Chain A
Amino acid sequence: MDGMMESKSVVRVKIVGEEYTLRTEASPQHTQGVADHVDRTIRAILAAGATIETHKAAILAALQITDELFQERSALAALTGELKQLASDIRPLLPPAKRGDESTTG
């Protein structure tokens, strides 16, 4: 993944006015980006006015972000299937020596 680093770094982020110190292998930019996304999602829920309590807004934000995650996973799985199908379509057009190893994608 882009932004991932081998050594751990300490990143201070602020979410809905509260500061958190995070130790992570990811880059500070990536960690800051994740924190900003969570902050924006919670603030959007709070701004909608249905919820005033911050911890409930955080849970709703977690649900929303998890929903996004699942949808992206599903889309990624569909994309992977399309890639495999395309590879299956191309493979017969090639001589056997150049068809590659089918087990890597199977």
Chain B
Amino acid sequence: MRPEVAAFRELDTLVRNLSDQLAGYRRRAMAAEARSRELEALVMGANSALATAESEVVRWKDAAQRAESEAAQARAIADEAETHASMSSAAAAAAAAVAPMVVAVEAASAPAASGAVPDSQLARENEELRTLLVEARGRTTQLVDRVRFLRQQLGQGAEK
């Protein structure tokens, strides 16, 4: 075979092989581009879901804070009511203890001892305060349950 013909055929073979290689690279590049586009779409979707979840978390946090504030207020009311009730009980007990002495003093000195409070009135006030205390406790329990529920929801929202 003449040398120029051999050289030409060799070059021809190499160019064809090179062409095949380039075609393979092109196919791989196109597949990679398609995959890249898919991943970009997934990332965009994930970002959107994340933004939604974040707004949910913020919303649940606000709700939880509000509920906690209400629970604290209810707790304060309940504590105050309990304090009043115990004070009333103590006052009633003291009144009961001093009642014979008051009667004795009344009998001994003045005909009209107007400063003393009757036992029945103290008992009634005591009963009213206990009722208030029971109501406040019930409300506090409800609020605590609500806070617990909101915290659970908040935890599930964060997991998303």
Contact = CB atoms under 8 A, between A and B. Distances in A.
Given A79-B4, A80-B4, A100 B18 contact: no
A104 B17 CA distance: 17
Contact of B14 (A76, A79, A80, A94): A94
Nearest to A94: B17
Given A83-B8, A87-B10, A104-B6, A98 B21 contact: yes
A76 B3 CA distance: 9
Contacts of A23: none
Nearest to A95: B21
A97 B119 CA distance: 112
Contacts of A99: 14, 17
B21 A93 contact: yes
B21 A87 contact: no
Interface residues of B, number: 15
Interface residues of A, number: 20
Given A90-B11, A101-B10, 9 more contacts: A83-B11, A84-B7, A91-B14, A94-B14, A98-B20, A100-B13, A105-B3, A105-B6, A105-B7
B4 A94 contact: no
A98 B21 CA distance: 9
Contacts of A93: 18, 21
Contact of A87 (B3, B7, B20): B7
B4 A87 contact: no
A86 interface: yes
A15 to B, nearest CB: 29
Nearest to B15: A90
Contacts of A83: 4, 7-8, 10-11
Given A93-B21, A98-B17, A87 B6 contact: no
B35 interface: no
Contacts of B17: 94, 98-100
28 contacts: A76-B4, A77-B3, A79-B4, A80-B3, A80-B4, A80-B7, A83-B4, A83-B7, A83-B11, A84-B7, A84-B11, A86-B11, A87-B7, A87-B10, A87-B11, A87-B14, A90-B11, A94-B17, A94-B18, A95-B21, A99-B17, A100-B10, A100-B13, A100-B17, A104-B6, A104-B10, A105-B3, A105-B10
Contacts of B20: 98
A102 B13 CA distance: 11
